[in-house]
Amino acid sequence: MTKGHFWTGARSSGSDGPEAVLFDMDGTLVETEQYWGEAMDALAERLGGRLSVAARERTVGTSMRFALGVLYADVGVVRSEQQLRADARWVEESTRELMTAGAPWRPGARELVLEVLESGLPTALVTTTPRRLAAVVLDQLAADLGTDPFDVTVCGDEVPARKPDPAPYRQAAAELRIDIARSVVIEDSLAGVTSALAAGAAVLGVPSLQPLAPAPGLALRPTLLGLRLADLAEILRAGDQADPAA
Ligand SMILES: [Mg+2]
């Protein structure tokens, strides 16, 4: 989804800065990734089991179908397609209720989003969460900032394939009309990092519920606290050096 007003001017961060900054939502900007975990734990209990920590970790940032497959295997149940759809609706509704109660910013995220907004750089939110749920969080962020900070928002039900496929980041770049190879993506999960790297972006990984291993083109930080736009330019330059095609 693209906002009415649209950035068309000169790059404001200098010629060596990023062309755009793209953010993941759950676990990166807001402390909502654990809401999905709470809902998955509750579903496992409803199915008479208990979701292991390892299985929960494998589901972070993935599609609902993949996550439920992991849960069923972990708990040891077989569910029909119809039951899977009902379970998906139940997990989504439980998560939506938790998100409605509050979606607090991750440390440093609000300050970085504000700096990117004030710089005039094109910016997108790229999430696997479906629009119906993401809207609950986006409304809270817009209310807190007094404006919708994203030029483009791409949700999990609006793409041909979900993260770790590169499609969501490619779609956001096309809607922003920017070169993804000159952009920085901020992600917390392995699925998200894999998606963004495959799309060709420089990636800043800020792990939340899942550890992230070093990879070419991936910069790692424990949090976004104190992170500035100038640091993203540095991450882009380091990503260029890591890319043998650059
Ligand atoms: Mg995430």
Ligand 1 centroid – CA 179 distance (Å): 22
In the block, residue with structure tokens 């209720």: 97
Phi and psi at residue 218, to the nearest 5°: -110, 120
What mean pLDDT is predicted for residues 229-236? 94
Global pTM reads 0.88
Ligand 1 centroid – CA 25 distance (Å): 6
Ligand 1 centroid – CA 119 distance (Å): 24
153 forms beta bridges with: 125
What pLDDT, on the 0 to 100 scale, is given for residue 229? 95
Whether 213 shows a pLDDT value over 70: the answer reads yes
Q: Of all residues in the chain, what percent carry a pLDDT higher than 90?
A: 86
Ligand 1 centroid – CA 92 distance (Å): 16
For residue 114, the one-letter residue type is L
State the SS3 of the chain: CECCCCCCCCCCCCCCCCCCEEECCECCCECCHHHHHHHHHHHHHHCCCCCCHHHHHHHCCCCHHHHHHHHHHHHCCCCCHHHHHHHHHHHHHHHHHHHHHCCCECCCHHHHHHHHHHHCCCEEEECCCCHHHHHHHHHHHHHHHCCCCCCEEECHHHCCCCCCCCHHHHHHHHHHCCCHHHCEEEECCHHHHHHHHHHCCEEEECCCCCCCCCCCCEEECCCCCCCCHHHHHHHHHHHHHHCCCC
What pLDDT, on the 0 to 100 scale, is given for residue 243? 63
- Convert the pLDDT of each residue in 49-58 to its tens digit: 999 999 999 9
Whether 240 shows a pLDDT value over 90: the answer reads no
Other Cβ atoms closer than 10 A to 3: 11
Neighbours of ion ligand 1 (CB under 5 A): 24, 26-28, 61, 188-189
Largest Cα–Cα distance in the chain? 57
The residue ranking higher by pLDDT, 206 or 239, is 206
Ligand 1 centroid – CA 40 distance (Å): 16
126 forms beta bridges with: 154
Token pair in block for residue 76: 């040891």
What mean pLDDT is predicted for residues 129-147? 96
- Convert the pLDDT of each residue in 7-47 to its tens digit: 444 444 455 799 999 999 999 999 998 899 999 999 999 99
Domains of the chain: 21-32+104-242 (3.40.50.1000), 33-101 (1.10.150)
Ligand 1 centroid – CA 9 distance (Å): 30
